Amino acid sequence: MRVAGFPSPADEYGLVSLSLTELMIPRPTSTFFIRVVEDLAPNIKRQDILVVDRSLKITEGCLALIVNQGELCLRRALQKNSEWWLISLTQGAPLRLGEDEEAILWGVVTYVIHQTLK
Amino acid sequence: MLSIKPSSSRWAILDCNSFYCSCERLFRPHLRHKPIVVLSNNDGCMISVSHEAKALGLKLGAPVHEVREIIRRHRVQVFSSNYQLYGDLSRRVMRILDELHPDVMQYSIDEAFIDFSHVPLGEEESWADYVCRKVTRETGIPVTIGIGPTKTLAKIASRVAKKEKRRALGLLSSQQIDDCLAAISVEDIWGIGYGSALKLKNIYLRTAKDFRDYSNTALIRSLLTVTGERIRDELRGIDCIEPGEMSEKKMITSTRSFGKRVYDRRELEEAVATYVGFACEKLRAQNSVARGLSVMLRTNPFDEKANYYRNDAQTFLTVASSDTGVFTAKALELVRGLYRPGLAYKKAGVFLFEITPRHEQQLDLLEPELPDRHGLMQAMDVINKRWGRGTIRMAATGTTADWRMLSESRSNKTQLAWNDLVELEAERSRGAHPRSSH
């Protein structure tokens, strides 16, 4: 587009356009999306999309996607006596994390994308 | 005594283990440690076999119908290929390597060469181990790295690493290299195909070590061309092969099942001419020429009402070429010889072999030089790339194309479309699981 007349005073600030990708997917090589198909917790509902980063380490209170008995499931991580435990979001016994244990870490959930307008 | 020029170069090759199987396992963790295979989409051959499936005797490249009993008995999981998923994971793996290393050359969908010459001496294996762990943690794909003074030796290291179930293995001291080459037979060397291996065995060179220590260069050159000589030099530690020139395959194939039964010779000719076009396009894309052409036709082997017919025929050009027109004319002659009327043909294939780089093209002194239409062919490739495959093609390929492959159903869970993401259900007695589409 050619600009005629006076230059806009905003020009020198450049083009500011926010990118959700930049915000939510800083590491695209290790980021995966998972679709939630049933309500999992009060704030994680059917149709939500989980943004999961495999490169992150587990941290206190984080939501972790884990593998338990060969199945993927979502749990909350808590540290106790230098061991990581994965607490169920609904019912179910806590699982201990480790390569030879009941739960293996698949990735850490960084965002839950929830659409409010259906 | 051999004079081995000490080479300061060090190369690593990263290889994804049973890559397509590993991709299918990523969102299906219950398949970990289970036997699984991935099939090619049109002819049902196994193009990826997990380590557990190999242990049951399943072999890469074999048709799945021959091993149905094993698959049923051991509950081997069978997948049709999902190239979108494999492509996505391949890009992730390659990108991680790119970020770690300045000099990465992707060699195939699941392999890359990495220049390791700047890695401190003695730390090659631990660095490679770090790279493997990082790639596997971030992408979920298990990988192996082999390291050696040359690419050919790195390839051999990677082979040994897989056999010994190690993540990273370096063949770096001359003692290690000697021991290892003595245990590798010539057909397992990168770039030595079945035919070349036979030629070497005929002169009693059985192991990679025999080949490396053989000093009659003139004979090697006459048997295996200058490429064979360079492979030998690479085994001696002289870094002299670029990955691009080891064309991914010693043979280019274009073969497909038809979407319906084909009876008519004309239709078969159109199909074969089309495959010739695809094969020559690949040939030109890698800047090579071929001398050998083989055409195969077959009916459906599972049709119990009709007799099975399969036949192939070969011919050689006097001068190697990459001209679609030259190969099409020859291929149509072969089809006419192979065609039996009244049969329901299910599949045809075109194979180009005796492939050499274009610049090494040997002209036959007794044959007048063919009018080479390299410029025309290049123009054709450019147009087809821009406007879609088959925009410009040889008239022999026809315009009906009824024989074209029917697309198959396959698992569509990828990371490339919002409406086919992997699904997570609520935890029940055993926990949530992604709804498998199989």
Nearest to A70 among B29, B95, B421 (CB): B29
Q: Do B199 and B345 reside in the same domain of the chain?
A: no
Tokens standing for B357? 């780089």
- The verdict on a CB contact (< 8 Å) between B431 and A37 is no
CA distance to A42, A50, B5, B160, B284, per residue, from B88 (Å): 33, 18, 41, 28, 26
Q: Do B61 and B149 reside in the same domain of the chain?
A: yes
In a domain, residue B433? The reply is no
Taking Cα atoms as reference points, which of B168, B156, B86, B170 lies closest to residue B131?
B168
Residue A30 has what DSSP assignment?
Answer: G
- Interface residue A73 vs chain B (CB under 8 A): yes
pLDDT band at B431 (very low <50, low <70, confident <90, very high): very low
Q: Do B84 and B196 reside in the same domain of the chain?
A: no
**What's the mean pLDDT when you consider all of chain B?**
83
Q: Do B97 and B216 reside in the same domain of the chain?
A: no
Nearest to B138 among A30, A37, A38 (CB): A30
Across A33-37, B4-8, B263-267, the highest mean pLDDT is recorded for: A33-37
CA distance A41 to chain B (A): 9
pLDDT band at B17 (very low <50, low <70, confident <90, very high): very high
Number of DSSP helices (H) and strands (E) in chain B, helices first: 13, 13
CATH of the domain at B137: 3.30.70.270
- Comparing alpha-carbon positions, the chain A residue that sits nearest to B93 is A29
For residue B4, pLDDT beyond 70: no
Tell me the residue ranges of DSSP E strands in B27-110. Answer: 36-39, 46-49, 77-80, 104-108
- The verdict on a CB contact (< 8 Å) between A74 and B30 is no
Is the model more confident about B408 or about B177?
B177
Q: What is the rounded distance in angstroms from the CA atom of residue B191 to the CA atom of residue A118?
A: 58
How confident is the model over B24-43, as a mean pLDDT?
A: 88
CATH of the domain at B203: 1.10.150.20
**What's the mean pLDDT when you consider all of chain A?**
89
Taking Cα atoms as reference points, which of A68, A66, A45 lies closest to residue A108?
A66
Q: Do B57 and B73 reside in the same domain of the chain?
A: yes
Q: Do B266 and B142 reside in the same domain of the chain?
A: no
What is residue A116's predicted lDDT score, i.e. its pLDDT? 93
Is the model more confident about A6 or about B167?
B167
| Nearest-5° Cα angle at B389, B86 to B385 | 85
pLDDT band at B414 (very low <50, low <70, confident <90, very high): confident
- The verdict on a CB contact (< 8 Å) between A73 and B92 is no
What is residue A11's predicted lDDT score, i.e. its pLDDT? 65
List, in sequence order, every residue forming a beta bridge with B147; answer none if it has no partner: B12, B170
In a domain, residue B360? The reply is yes
When mean pLDDT is compared across B112-126, B186-200, B294-308, the lowest value belongs to B294-308
- The verdict on a CB contact (< 8 Å) between B434 and A39 is no
Q: Do B63 and B110 reside in the same domain of the chain?
A: yes
Range of the domain at B107: 7-169
B70 neighbors B78 (Cβ within 8 angstroms): no
In a domain, residue B356? The reply is yes
Instruction: Give me the number of domains chain B comprises.
Output: 3
Q: What is the rounded distance in angstroms from the CA atom of residue B383 to the CA atom of residue B47?
A: 32
Contacts of A35 in chain B (CB under 8 A): 421-424
Q: What is the rounded distance in angstroms from the CA atom of residue A5 to the CA atom of residue B286?
A: 54
For residue B53, pLDDT beyond 90: yes
Share of chain B above pLDDT 70, in %: 84
For residue B84, pLDDT beyond 90: no
| Nearest-5° Cα angle at B249, B257 to B62 | 45
Contacts of B423 in chain A (CB under 8 A): 34-37
Which of A20, A33, A34 to mutate to test binding with chain B, by most B CBs within 10 Å of its CB?
A: A34
Q: What is the pLDDT of residues B335-353, one digit of tens each?
A: 999 998 888 898 888 888 7
Beta-carbon neighbour count of residue B2 at 10 Å?
8
Q: Do B121 and B178 reside in the same domain of the chain?
A: no
What is residue B246's predicted lDDT score, i.e. its pLDDT? 61
CA distance B86 to chain A (A): 14
What is residue B382's predicted lDDT score, i.e. its pLDDT? 74
Tokens standing for B430? 């055993």
- The verdict on a CB contact (< 8 Å) between A34 and B32 is no
Q: Do B223 and B313 reside in the same domain of the chain?
A: no
What is residue A85's predicted lDDT score, i.e. its pLDDT? 94
Q: Do B229 and B81 reside in the same domain of the chain?
A: no
What is residue B1's predicted lDDT score, i.e. its pLDDT? 41
Q: What is the pLDDT of residues B210-241, one digit of tens each?
A: 999 999 999 999 998 888 999 999 999 999 88
Nearest to B426 among A35, A38, A54 (CB): A38
Q: What is the pLDDT of residues B88-129, one digit of tens each?
A: 999 899 999 998 987 888 888 899 999 999 899 999 999 999
For residue B401, pLDDT beyond 60: no
pLDDT band at B396 (very low <50, low <70, confident <90, very high): low
| E strand or H helix at A76 | strand A71-80
Share of chain B above pLDDT 90, in %: 42
Q: What is the pLDDT of residues A49-102, one digit of tens each?
A: 999 999 999 999 999 999 998 899 999 999 998 899 999 998 888 999 987 668
Nearest to B431 among A28, A50, A71 (CB): A71
Last residue of a domain, one of B134, B169, B204: B169
Q: For B44, left (φ over 0), alpha (ψ -120 to 50), or beta? A: left
Nearest to A69 among B137, B426, B431 (CB): B431
What is residue B303's predicted lDDT score, i.e. its pLDDT? 74
CATH of the domain at B342: 3.30.1490.100
What is residue B18's predicted lDDT score, i.e. its pLDDT? 95
Q: What share of chain B is helix, strand, coil (3-state, %, to 5)?
A: 40, 20, 40
- Interface residue A29 vs chain B (CB under 8 A): yes
Is the model more confident about A7 or about B308?
B308
How confident is the model over A46-50, as a mean pLDDT?
A: 95
- Interface residue A45 vs chain B (CB under 8 A): no
- The verdict on a CB contact (< 8 Å) between A72 and B27 is yes
What is residue A12's predicted lDDT score, i.e. its pLDDT? 62
- Comparing alpha-carbon positions, the chain A residue that sits nearest to B431 is A73
For residue B317, pLDDT beyond 60: yes
For residue A7, pLDDT beyond 80: no
Q: Do B46 and B131 reside in the same domain of the chain?
A: yes
Q: What is the pLDDT of residues B378-390, one digit of tens each?
A: 777 777 766 666 6
Nearest to B426 among A39, A54, A106 (CB): A39
- The verdict on a CB contact (< 8 Å) between A71 and B432 is yes
Last residue of a domain, one of B188, B217, B243: B243
- The verdict on a CB contact (< 8 Å) between B427 and A67 is no
pLDDT band at B26 (very low <50, low <70, confident <90, very high): very high
Q: Do B108 and B147 reside in the same domain of the chain?
A: yes
Has this prediction a pTM greater than 0.80? no
How confident is the model over B404-425, as a mean pLDDT?
A: 65
ipTM of the prediction? 0.87
What is residue B82's predicted lDDT score, i.e. its pLDDT? 85
CA distance B244 to chain A (A): 26
Architecture per CATH, domain A55-118, reads as Ribbon (2.10)
Residue spans of the domains in chain A: they are: 55-118
What is residue B377's predicted lDDT score, i.e. its pLDDT? 76
**Distance of alpha carbon B51 from the chain centroid:** 19
- Comparing alpha-carbon positions, the chain A residue that sits nearest to B90 is A29
- Comparing alpha-carbon positions, the chain A residue that sits nearest to B417 is A33
